[in-house]
Amino acid sequence: MGEEGDAQRIKRIAAGAYDYESDPRWAEYWSNVLVPPNKASRSDVLDYYKRKFYQRYIDPDFVVEPMSSNSSSQSQQARPSGRSAPPSSSSSSPAAAAAAGAENTRPHESGPNSGTTAPQGRAANALRLDRRSIHFSVNAWVLVVAVLGILPVVPRHLSNKAYRLSLLGTTCSSFYSLYTLYGKPRAWNLPAVQTWFQTIIATKDFIHLIYCLMFVTSQLHFKFALIPVLCWALEHVARFLRRNFTRSSIYRRYLEEPCLWVEANTTTLSILSANAEIALGFLLILSLFSWQRNIIQTFMYWQLLKLMYHAPVTAGYHQSVWAKIGRTVNPYIYRYAPFLNTPVSAVQRWWFR
């Protein structure tokens, strides 16, 4: 519980520091929220909807606490009213308390038709849960198929099918996640598409989508390429089970310890994925000397590795792996192959650009 509280505290700090004004989705989201005019200018109401926006579009695991009723009642007591009567006697205090209680229990997102907002809220929660369940189901299926595709004891024809199906499943899962979180461009013109693309290009789902598309359409079959897919699916499935099946006896008996291990070793899994992704880049370079070479795929994959190196969601792990490679390789280059310093420097300039 303490670790979860610390995690939520960090998420609240991140939500408060997020630049909402530069995000075009915030203006659209705020324009669609029905808030009474007397509450729209209050800072606590604005902060509440900013946290809701952050939970919906940035971090679905962020828990948004409901607005306290004290702030609502206090603001109404402090707000002057030209139509208000003088302070009532003690005989009218129960009626005033009942009115204040009714006002405090009214949903804050309600507009003129406040009676219909509660079912709409429940429907929205059910829809959100349904989307997460669909995402979990696809990732669980990818996890099983990826295990079949990577095991050496599985027959070759079945292994090849499992290889493509796991990549295809991760492609569909990533595309579905991108669509539910970011939607589609506001308009199908170049400025709108560029703005939308800039919001998704550094996200984890976009990187996973491009990664899987490169290998699912390739003639090369690198079983090594399933290691990141397996890590991604394992992490997502474990996180979903931990949050939704903690009361299940089957989960507590068979799955709780593996899920705890996965959540405790997410950094290890991410570093393993980064190592596998970088190793695939060198395998593609070696494949250029075979009859199955694909120059375009190799170039595009190294562009993806460059994006992984700079994107915030993967930069830490990739930079750590590349630093280790540099510490291992550079002494040999300086000592035995100094003529490689010039091409290596040119590649580094392109890489850090």
Structural domain boundaries of the chain? 1-67, 130-352
pTM over 0.75: no
Residue 11 predicted with pLDDT over 90: no
Look over the chain and give the mean of its residue pLDDT values, rounded to a whole number.
Answer: 80
Counting other chains too, the contacts that 195-200 makes at CB distance below 8 Å and 24 or more residues apart are: 195/24, 199/23, 199/24, 199/25
* pLDDT digit string, tens, across residues 281-330: 999 999 999 888 889 999 999 999 999 999 999 999 999 999 999 999 99
- Cβ atoms of residues 169 and 149 within 8 Å: no
pLDDT range class, residue 69, cuts 50, 70, 90: low
Burial of 174 (0-12, 13-18, 19+ CB in 10 A): buried
Nearest in space to 328 (alpha carbons), one of 280, 288, 284, 275? 275
pLDDT confidence band for 68 (50 / 70 / 90): low
Identify the CA nearest to 275 among candidates 318, 222, 328.
Answer: 318
pLDDT at 51: 85
CA-to-CA dists, residue 273 to 164, 229, 231, 235, 285, angstroms: 18, 8, 7, 12, 19
Of 244, 240, 239, 243, give the one whose Cα is nearest residue 261.
Answer: 239
